[in-house]
Structure formats: C-alpha cells, structure tokens
Structure 1
Amino acid sequence: MTQSANKTQGLTCPECSGVVPIAEGDRIVECPYCHTFSLVQGERGVRRWQVPQVVERERALQTVGNFFRGVKKARDLAAAAEIKDTFLVYLPYWRVEAFVAGWMFGRVKSGKDSTRPIEVQISEQMHWNDAAVDVAEYGVHQVAISKEQLRPYDSDRLHAEAMVFEPSESHTDAMIEAEQHFTYRGRKSRHLRTKFFEKFHFLRQRLSIVYYPLWVSRYEYHKRNYQVVVDGVNGNILYGKAPGNIFYRAAALVGGLALGNLILVNGTWLAGLMVSNSDEDGNILLLLMPIAFGIALIAAGYRAFRYGEEVEEIQKGARKATLAGQSDSSTLVSALTGGLMGDKADMESVMRSGMSVLEELTEGRR
C-alpha cells in the first residue's frame, strides 16, 4: 500500500502512471497494470469525479436549432437567429449519497369518516446533487448523475478540452441542503392526514464533486443576445431563453380571460344549482372546481401576456431540488394553476381582474 501522502493525490498509479478505475465508495484500489494497491484520498477530503462528454459539437448545434421552433417563440426565430459561439464547459456539482432510515407516526384516512393510526418506516438509499457554483447564467441547478457514469477526475485533460469551473459554494451548506432534500423525500413517501412524530437518520453519507459537461450556445436575434444550454451526455436541452411571440401573447390573454371568466361565472352558477338540488355531503368540492379552473385559465392568459416577451425553458430535472420546509401554499397554488400564477403580487392582480369582470357580468345578467 502506498504510504506517501503525495503519491495518493490524483487518480493515477504511483508506480506505472496508469489510470486506475475506482468504483464509487472504494478506499483501497488495485492498479490493473502493475497490481499495486493504493489508498484513495480526495483533495481536501472531498473526492472528485468527472462525467465524460458524449455529445459532440455538431449534435449540440442541431439540438439548438430544434430549440428555435415553438409556438411561444418568435415566428422568425429559426431564420433570424445567428449563433455567435458554442463551447463546452464542465460545471462542478456537489453530490451526496446517504442511506436514509426514519420513522413517521400519524393517522391516515380509513373509511368515509374515520382514521386509523399508522407507522411508516423509511429505509432507502438516496442521492442528491446541486451546483457548486453560481449557475444564474446557465440555469442548470442539478443534473442526472448515475454511478456508472463516474470516471476518475483528470484535471489536465478537462482543462485542455473545455472551460472548467472550480467549486465556490460551501460543502457544509451542501450537506445541509442534501439532508433537507432527503427529509422532504422521506415525508413524501407516505401522506399522513395527521402526523404526531417523525425522525430521520442519514447514514454512510458520502460527499463528492462531479464535473459535468454542458454545451453552451450563445446566439443573437435582432441585436439581442440569448443562450441555450445542452446536456453534454444525452443531448437534451436543459436551459434556454428565446424571444416571445407577440401574437401568441395576445391570443393567450384574450382567450384566457374570455374562457376563464365564462367558466368562473357560468360554471359556478351551474355548480350552485346542482349543489342546491342535492342532499349529498361533500358537494362543496363541486362548487369550487369551476372557480379553480376559471382562475387558472385567467392566470395562464395573464402570465403568458405579461411575461411572454422572453421565453425561458428549464427542464424539470435541471431545477433545484425541493427541500423540506418549503411553503406548501406555493405548491398548492402551483397545482391549481399549472405553475402559472407566479408570486403573491401576480395572484392579487389576477384575482382583481377576474373579480371585476365577474361583477360586471353578474350586473349585466341582472
């Protein structure tokens, strides 16, 4: 076994300089060439991995060309867009692996009007990853990383073929966020009507840095600059911005207000008649359904018009992982409106607009 600390830096054999494949989690490895055993220690206590590039530049450019098409985007985008630069970057991502063991005690619904006690056990291997640098420019907070993709980190090779960013975020914060995400996933494993107690343990935690390849393509449209980010492994669009379609925005606003208020007024009126003529319990949900659908359509039209000048697309898997403790109210609003309501100010503005139209239609009906 190699004893010298300087010989354990990097992922090459200290005897023959051959590349030593290291499975994730291994501390003692054997060189496949000279059969020398070595102790693996990551730089500053954090192991570094890299995911090899699979997608070439030509395929990335083809994917960017497909991104220019879409009803929400400017109609002449594909013809007028001029790609200025396309380059490969390796962004560092914190990756945390842990075995999560926990328990939740509470009650679940049993029958129509009763509940029963239940004990939920969580025993699962979980993974979490998040960008170790500020990705406001690139928009990719997390990527899909499997153990089979990981390769030994080769700093010289990566810097020779692409732009490589070094971690700037705290590894302590990364561990905290990972535990919060694991807690969130544990809670989501079973819905409890009432929860009395919960406890989660995070065992065999492993923190590492993974350098992931991304193709960044910058283009110009009518003297305005935009950017598209393509996954360097599977070739999917992870993030992109494009100019919006003014005709789509206008049609969405008019259609959303018209159809939304139609459902809000007539749908609520019809639901009210059905509820008043029925003796069954639970009909309040029927009364709320047209209100929710009407507000959702109004919100969709309003959002498309107000924010449609610039279209921003983020793949669901590239968004920041959900953490425990985040507002449930925002999740509920997003579920009712398809994620189109925006912040509280947008909600209030849309509600005022919808209610004013509702009052006018009600007065006209009288």
Structure 2
Amino acid sequence: MLPLKEKDKPIIRKLLSSGCCARCVLRFCCVTLQAAYRKPPQDTLRELRAFVHDAENGETRESAEGNGETPDAAAAAEPAGDPPSKRAKLERVGTGAAEEEEEEDAAVEPKEEEPSVCVSCLGVLQELCGPTHAVKIAERVKAEKYEFDTLLLSVSLPAQLCVREHSCWLHVKKEMREKSLAVDKDDLVQVKETFKWVMQGAVAQELGGVPVVIRSLFEVGVEFTHPETDADCHFLATACASCFKSNRNKRSVFTRMAVVKALEKISDAVFLKHYSSPPAAPTSSCSTENIQCLHLAIFVAGRYNKFSRSLPQTPWVIDGERRMESSVEELIAAPVLSSFRADGFNFSSSGREDVDVRTLGNGRPFAMELLDPHRTKLSHVEMKQLQEVVFITHSQSIIIIISFPS
C-alpha cells in the first residue's frame, strides 16, 4: 500500500489529469518511502487510481445517505413489474447488450497506462528509470575497466525540469491552500533523489553487488538532455535578467543554478504570465547524452636518488625546444602511470636540485597525484616490482626509488 492520506486525493486527481507520471505524483505528495518508488510504474498508477476511485465512491455513498437513501432502499423502491421497454432491454443482454455495457465501462474507466511522456520529469522517472537503463549504465562501467569497491551514482538533469516542476507546483498549490496544508515547495521529493532511489539497487545488482553509496572515490555520472524543451527557460532571461550572465566557459547561460535562482525571485503572477500551468505535454523523452566514469585522484609517495650531473628534475624546455633528453619526473612517472592505468599525473617534490647536482643519502621525498586511475591498489610484491622497474640506467645517470608505501 502507498503511504497516502486523504489530503492527497485532490492533488493526485489534478496531477494525473495533467499528464504527470505515477512517480511524480508521489513526489508532489511528499512521499519519502523509497520502496514506493521502486514499484513498477504501472502498479503504482493502478494503486493511485484505485485510491482516488474509492474516495469518489465514498463521496457518492455519503451523498446518498445524506438524502436518506441507501442502495437497498433504492432497489426496494423500484416497481415489481418491469415495463415492456425494460423487459426488452433485459432480453437483449444475451444478444449484445452486455458487450455494449462493457464498452461503456471501458470508456469511463481510464486505461491503466502512464502518459507517453511525463510533463514534469520528461520521462526521466519513466522508461529511463528501470532495469533496461540500469543494464546500459553497468555495461558502460564494465567497458571502462575500473577497479573499485564502492560506487557513487550522480545525475545531471536539464535546467528546464526546474521550470516544469514549478509549473506543476503552482497547479496544485491552490488545492493545498484550500486544504490548509503546510507544504512548501522544498518539501517535494526531487527528481534526482527519486532516480537514485530506484536505480542504485538495480545498478549494483548488474555490477555483481558492488555497493552504491552516497560517498565514494569512484563516480558514475549520468547526464540527461531534452532539446525539445530547451526554450522553456528562455522567458526567465526577460523576467529576471539579473540571474543570467554570459560566461565563455559555459555552453548556456541557463544553468540549473541560475534557473533555480530566477524561479525563487519572480512572483507566481509573472511566471504564469509567461508559462502555462500545468506545462504542455512533450512529444519525446529525455535522452542520455553521456555516461561518464571518473575515479578521484590517488597519491603515491616515495624517495628518489639521482647520481647523474646531467639530468633535470622536471622536463627542461626553453622556447619550445627540449634541452635534455629526459628528466627525473618522466622516468618515475612512466612506469607508475602504467601500473595504475591513470590518465595523468602531477609531480611534486620536497625541494629541487639543479641539473648538475646529485641527490644522495636517503633521497629526496616526492609525491605523485595520479588522475583518474583505473587501478588503485597494488600488492606489496607489485610495489617492489615497480621499484625495480624504476631503477633505471639512463646514459650516465642512475635513479633509484628508495621506498614506496605498500
């Protein structure tokens, strides 16, 4: 059973008639039970309609009782003898009347199907929030060949979803006010949270049970776009020009943060002057523009000795021309990057020496920041092997990694 209350019934009616999907209806009813969103949308929709239908039947019964009538009394009040026209109608039951009544009932009862595309979430919580999409995300993660113990699922949504959600909120706001409901827009469950509640378990299952948590070094980002409704935000540039400033580093001034800020500033009257409530039904769902995997940087530390007087610490390039064949940084970084399968690195050392200065004794401490490593753990034996690989004879220089933490 869905955790709904009597006060939610008028809101459910309005949202369903406006073209909202079942999960968005639960969001606007401030349902925070995660299990409710994990149900198949068709089952949720069926329960919502049954919940509203029972309420309507209850109101009908109350109306009849208020007039002093009961179903049994109404039946008893009918005359014992049926007129010829009624008998003729009853005789037709076996010859097609039953089929006509079934057609009439079907016309009255709404189909237990969700709208083609939800006017609020633009399909993000419909076909894009289920087992098929979980398989797609898992396949992308497997293809990248990362090693990880936990996973963080992040979601990037188009900014126009904020506009559409605000429009739906204004559509039911009047009902809430009439019912004296102390509900704020911030109380609504966000699309992003709903998507995670449904998809985290499904993605984890597809990846063999890897925990999907709220904090992890490994992140899988899913980015949605919806070009059809990009123009939904454009009126805000006129209604609240101060919230939108051009930035060369951004593809559009209509960022999610700017749109949210504008919606907080403008009044309901100004919003409704430029945008319909409820929003118009879209013809297509959001599309997954990108599924990106990223592992946060890890650090490797150690010490190095340099016995050469002709080897710089870092690449020596002047006016675009390389002065030395290699450097300490490059000789250390190459095998380390290969072992951790990292996309890049930043090299730092405790001080530096000139090209003709040797580094003796216990060596100079250094640290490497490995960017987006696909592997994050090496065994003690593998670390020893890496030290041996970095033991390099380079012309007349010898570099030895004194120690790596295991």
The structure that is strand-richer by fraction is: 1
Bin of the TM-score, shorter chain as denominator length: under 0.3
Larger RCO: 1 or 2 (CA < 8 Å, sep 6+): 1
The structure that is helix-richer by fraction is: 2
Considering only CA atoms, is the larger Rg found in Structure 1 or Structure 2?
Answer: 2
Give TM-score scaled by structure 1 length: 0.25
